[in-house]
Structure 1
Amino acid sequence: MKFSPNNSAQNPLFQKVPRRGKLRDTHITLAHGSGGKAMRDLIDDIFISNFDNSILSQLEDQASFNLASFTQHGDRLAFTTDSYVVDPLFFPGGDIGELAIYGTINDLAVSGAKPLYLSCSVILEEGLSVETLRRVATSMKIAAQKTGIQIVTGDTKVVQRGAVDKLFINTAGIGVIPAKVAISAHNIQPGDAIIINGELGNHGAAILIARGELALDTDIESDCQPLHDLVETILNVCPGVHAMRDATRGGLATVLNEFAVSSNVGIRLDEKSIPVREEVKGVCEILGLDPLYLANEGKLVVVVKGDNADTVLSAMKSHPAGKDACIIGEVISSPPGIVLLNTIFGAERIVDMLVGDQLPRIC
C-alpha cells in the first residue's frame, strides 16, 4: 500500500506498532513527499484516518483480495481509471474529492458492474493548505461510505510549487459484472429508444459560474452523484439493456456520436424532449455554448429496445437519481454514424462530435 512510506509494512516489527502520526504543518512542503516521517504523518492523519478499512489497514504496497469475494457478485471483472483536475476544487453541488469517488463508480456502473474497490492517488502542490486537503479527504470518505465502496490502496506525491494546480487526484476502480449482463455500444440497433435520467449541463454551468468569470447570480449546482443504484434498478426490470454511458466531458452529443459510430447506426433526437434548465440555457446563450456538449457528472444515457422503453423509463422515475428521466430520441438505420436533431423550429440539423474544448478543467 503505497500510502505507507519506507515500505515499513513489509517489516513485521513495524506491523506490531499502531500508526498514530499527527500532521502539525499548515501547508504541504516537499518533505511531505520525501518518504520520511513528514510523509508518514501526512498519510496517517489525512488518508489512513479517513479511508481506514480491513484491506487498507494491512498497509502493503498493493491490496489483495479473496477471489471468492468477487465471484459471488458475477463472472467478469470491470476495471477503470480516471484523473480529476477540476478548477475550482470546491463548487456548488460538490468538490474534487466527491467527484473522484462518484466519477469512477459511475464508469464501473455503466458496464452493469457492482462497484467494490477504489484506489486513490494524489499529486499535491507544494504550498497547498493542509486544511484544503483535509476537506477533500473527508469528502471522499463520506462519498465512499454513502456508496458502500472501499478505498483500499493509494499513493501520494508532492511536486514543486507551480508544477500542478493545487491538487490532482487519480482513482481506479474494480467492480464485478453479473452473469448475462452484456452492455456495449456495439449492441445498439435501429428501433432502440434513448433515455436520459435528467437535466443536462448543470455541472458544466456550475463550474463556469464558480470560477467567477461571469457576473451571474444563479442557484445552479453540479449534478455530481453516484449512479450505480439507478443502474441496478434499470437492470432489475431490463437485464438486456443494449448500451449505457455517463455523459461527462463532451456531454450528451459526444456520447451519442460514439454510440452511432460504434454500431454503425443513426440517431435522431427530439430537441423538445431534451431537459435543460432555463438558467443553463441562459448561460449557454450568453457565451454561445450548446448544452448538448456541456459536461455532466450524474447523467446516464441508456439505450434499450423500443419495446422496453416505457418499462425502463418507469423504473428510472421511481429512483431519486432518475425522477426526471425522459425518452429523448431513437436509433435509426440511416444515415449511419450520424446524430440528427429535430429542432424546436421544425428543422433538422447534424449534431457533430465536440471540436475543441468548451470548458477546460471541468472534471
Structure 2
Amino acid sequence: MNNDIILLGYGSGGTLSHRLLDELIIPTLSGVAEREQNDSAILAHGGGRLAFTTDGYVVDPIFFSGGNIGDLAINGTVNDLAMVGAKPLAVAVAFILEEGLALAEFRKILEAMRAAADLAGVRIVTGDTKVVPRGKGDKIFITTSGIGVFAHALEISGGGAQVGDKILINGPVGDHGLAVLAGREGLELETDIRSDSAPLNHLVGALLDEFGDAVHVLRDPTRGGVATTLKEIARQSQVGIRLDETALPINPAVAGACALLGLDPLYVANEGKLLALVAPEAADALLEQMRRHPQGQGAALIGEVTAGPPGQVQLHTSIGGRRAIEMLAGEQLPRIC
C-alpha cells in the first residue's frame, strides 16, 4: 500500500479494496486464505455448520427508486448467507443516527426492514442504536449481522469452480447502481430505473433442492459488479473464465444511461442478482428452473469456466474480439450500498 491515508476507492469492492484486505486487514486480524474468503464464514458447531456474516450500509441517498437503506441492509445480509448455501435464520441490526434525521424517515426505514425480513423469512432479533452530533454522520448508517443454518452437506464456495462449469445470472445487471446514481444526482432519465434489491434465499433454496451438488459457486455481484466478482472467483478457484458479451442481460435504459455517463454495466453494483457456476450437464435445466422463479425470470447463460490462464477473465465481445476483465480500479460509484 503506497498511501498513508484511507482513500474513497478502498470501499469500491475492487482493486483498492482487495489491497486493503490483503495487505492490512486480513493479515492483521485473521490470516484467512483467499480461497476461503466468501460472502459468509462457515463455522463448525455441534457436529453441524453455521454461516455467519456482517455488513455495513452507507448508501447515499438513503431513499432511491426501488428501495431504501433499510430493505437494502436486510436483503444484502440475507443474500450473503444464501451465497454459501445457508438458510438465513436471524439478523442483528445496529444503527448510527445523525442528529437531525427526521423520525418519519427513520420510521419508513424500519418498516422497510421489517417487510424485507418478513419476505425473506428471517427474524430481526437484536441490535444497537447510537446517535452522533449533527454534521458528524450522514443521516443514517446501518450495520447488520446474520446467521444461517445448513440443511445439506454441500460445499459452495468461490473456490469451487470447475473447468467446464457454465455461468448463469438470474437477470439484468446494473439496475441498482444506476437507480442510486440517478437519485443522488437528480438525473432525469426517460425510463424509470429501479433498484433490483431483493432477497435471493428462496431462489437459492429452490435451486439447491432440485440440483444439489451441480451448483459449485454462488456469488452476488454487488460492489464492483459482475466483472469484479468473476475476477474474484477466477482467482479463488485458480481457473480461467470466458464471458460472452452478447449473452449479458442488460436493460436498455441501463445500457443507455451507462453509455451517456461513461460507465461500464459490468462494473455497476447489483443487489438482487446472483452468479451461479454450475456443472455443464445441469446448466440448461437449472436455467429453466431459475427462469420459473420470480427472482430469475430474466436469467441467462453468460459464460463458462476454462482451464486458464488461472485467475484471468476474458470477455468475448460482440464484434468478435477479446478483452481482459480486471477488478474495478478506483471508485466508479461511491456510497452505493
Classify the TM-score, shorter chain.
0.7 to 0.9
Q: CA deviation at 1:148?
A: 1.6
Does residue 319 of structure 1 match 2:293?
Answer: yes
Q: CA deviation at 1:139?
A: 0.9
Q: CA deviation at 1:282?
A: 1.0
Q: 2:78 aligns with which of 84, 89, 105?
A: 105
Q: Secondary structure at the match of 1:119?
A: strand
Distance 1:278 1:347 in 2: 22
Distance 1:253 1:329 in 2: 12
Does residue 131 of structure 1 match 2:114?
Answer: no
Q: Which amino acid aligns with 2:73?
A: A
Change (3 A) 1:115 1:76: same
Distance 1:143 1:194 in 2: 28
Report what 2:200 is aligned to.
227
Distance 2:253 2:152 in 1: 43
Distance 1:257 1:267 in 2: 8
Report what 2:31 is aligned to.
none
- TM-score, normalised relative to structure 2: 0.85
Q: Secondary structure at the match of 1:211?
A: helix
Q: Secondary structure at the match of 2:275?
A: strand
Report what 2:20 is aligned to.
none
State the Cα deviation string for residues 214-262 of structure 1 (Å, max 9, x = none). Answer: 3433211000100000001110121111100011000000110001001
Q: CA deviation at 1:121?
A: 0.3
Distance 2:336 2:227 in 1: 17
Report what 1:157 is aligned to.
130
Q: CA deviation at 1:178?
A: 2.3
Q: CA deviation at 1:213?
A: 4.3
Tell whether the 8 Å contact from 1:75 to 1:178 is kept in structure 2 after alignment. Answer: no
Distance 1:318 1:279 in 2: 24
Greater RCO (CA < 8 Å, at least 6 residues apart): 2
The unaligned stretches of length 5 or more in structure 2 are: 1-44
Which structure has the larger Rg? 1
Runs of 4 or more off by more than 4 Å in structure 1? none
Distance 1:347 1:213 in 2: 36
Which residues in structure 2 correspond to 1:229-244 (within 5 Å)? 229-240=202-213, 241-244=215-218
| Structure 1 stretch displaced more, 159-168 or 204-213 | 204-213
Distance 1:217 1:162 in 2: 35
The unaligned stretches of length 5 or more in structure 1 are: 1-69
Which residues in structure 2 correspond to 1:193-204 (within 5 Å)? 193-204=166-177
Q: Which amino acid aligns with 1:351?
A: I
Report what 1:212 is aligned to.
185
Which residues in structure 2 correspond to 1:1-363 (within 5 Å)? 75-240=48-213, 241-363=215-337
Q: Which amino acid aligns with 1:338?
A: Q
Q: Secondary structure at the match of 2:159?
A: helix
Distance 2:125 2:209 in 1: 29
Q: Which amino acid aligns with 2:328?
A: L
State the Cα deviation string for residues 299-355 of structure 1 (Å, max 9, x = none). Answer: 000001111111211111110101111110000002111100110011011111100
Q: Which amino acid aligns with 2:331?
A: D
